[in-house]
Structures are given as C-alpha cells and as structure tokens.
Amino acid sequence: MIDDKSFMKLSSEVRRTVLRQLESYQKASPRKLHPPGNSFNEPSIVLPRSRRLLRSLGIACWFLPEWLKWEIILQLSEKPYSLDFSSKGLEISLELRCLVESQEIMISYVSYFINPRELFGTILQEDLLEALKNIRVKEKQSGPVKKPIRRKGYKDKGSWRLPHRRLEKFDFTFIEEQNSKELKSRIYLLFTKIFLSKFREERKR
C-alpha cells in the first residue's frame, strides 16, 4: 500500500508533468485542444484507438481542461476496450476503467502497476504528446430540418418472400457469438467491481 506522503508526491509529479506537456503542445498547436467558440453546439471528440495512447489519456485526463477531461472519462468508462480475452482484452479494459474511475484510484493503480521510469519517461512524454496530437475535436453542425420524403407503397421491396417460400434457417452461430459476448461482458463487469472495491479499501486503511 502506498502511504499518504508518497501518494501526494506522485500525484503532484503526475499533475506537473501533464500540465507541462499540455502547455508545450498548445504552444505548438494553438488552434487545437481549446473549447469551441460556439457554446450552442457541443463538440464531437474522437479519441485515438491505440491502447498506449488511451492509457496516457486515462492518466492525464484528471489534469486536462474540464470539457476534455469529462469526455475522455465518459468514452473510456462507457464500454470495455476489447472483449478479446486471448489478446489481453480483459487486462487492457480493466486498466483503462481503473484509470478513469477517480483521481485517487488512478494514482493508486499507477503506483502498483506502472514503473516510474516508464510512467515519466514514456507514457507521460511521447505517448501523451502523440495522444494529444491524435485527438480530433469537431463541432456538431446543426443543419436545416430534413422533411420526410413521401413515397407510394412500401419502401423496402427486397425482403418480402412469397408465401410458398420457406424461411431461412435460424443462425445458431450468431446466438453462440452473442452468448459469448454477453458472458465476457459480465466477467468484465465483475472484475471491474472487484478491482475498484479493492483500491477503495486500500485507500481507507
């Protein structure tokens, strides 16, 4: 368990490193990573897909501007990164979920599982800069209202079958895939609950 003094020191170092990288990047790209001027249209934010870049954003998000911070938290917490358990999908999904649960849990996770040399030498340096570079911020365009097109007859003319034709056989492969996906989703949610409760208990001691 990390003691309070080490916890505060690590948190301060992470914050200082992130703010320094953000300032450096904003000077190099002054038109990027600023809240859109039109407050009526919420920005559409597209995050990079790389696990390494998302990990750096999960750590850094707590010290980024509010409008960007909450979008990163929302996108990384609403669904698992991958359910391909054979390719470490569970481990990666759990890691990203822990990083965006709270600032305290993020610092605890980093202190347990990430080497300081990797954290400050790679993740919060080249990975974070690359992640900031690959974030796309676009304003949602509110165009004119589209009027419904009136048509005569049915719009779909290709799916109807003659009464004497038999229906296609049910695809049991699809059912198996769905059941497997749902099982993996439940496993992910269970492990997430266990991980988060474990970190919360550690911080209370």
| Interatomic CA distance for residues 130 and 200, integer angstroms | 31
Q: Which distant-in-sequence residues (6+ apart) come within 8 Å of 154 by Cβ?
A: 160
Q: Are 34 and 80 in contact (CB under 8 A)?
A: no
pLDDT at position 165? 58
Instruction: Identify which of 49, 101, 60, 97 has the alpha carbon closest to the alpha carbon of residue 76.
Output: 97
> What pLDDT score does 2 carry?
75
pLDDT at 14 over 80: yes
Q: Which tokens is 49 given?
A: 């897909």
Residue 15 has pLDDT above 70, yes or no: yes
pLDDT digits (tens, 9 = 90+) for 129-185: 999 999 988 766 666 666 666 666 656 555 556 665 555 555 667 788 888 889 999
Question: Over the chain, what is the mean pLDDT?
Answer: 84
List CB contacts of 201: < 8 A, sequence separation 6 or more. none
| Residue tagged 């920005």 (tokens) | 43
Q: What is the pLDDT of residue 26?
A: 85
At 80-121, the pLDDT tens digits run 999 999 999 999 999 999 999 999 999 999 999 999 999 999
pLDDT over 70 (residue 76): yes
Residues sharing a CB contact under 8 Å with residue 119, sequence separation 6 or more, in sequence order: 14, 59, 110
Cα three-residue angle 70-71-72, rounded to 5 degrees: 90
Whether residue 40 is predicted with pLDDT greater than 60 in this model: the reply is: no
More confident of the two residues 129 and 37: 129
Residues 6+ apart with CB under 8 A from 167: 161
Report the distance separating Cα 199 and Cα 178, nearest Å: 32
Structure tokens at 174: 């699809």
Structure tokens at 164: 């004497």
Asked whether the beta carbons of 199 and 109 are under 8 A apart, the reply is yes
pLDDT the model gives residue 158: 58
The pLDDT value given to residue 190: 93
Among 43-47, 53-57, 161-165, 167-171, which range has the highest average pLDDT? 53-57
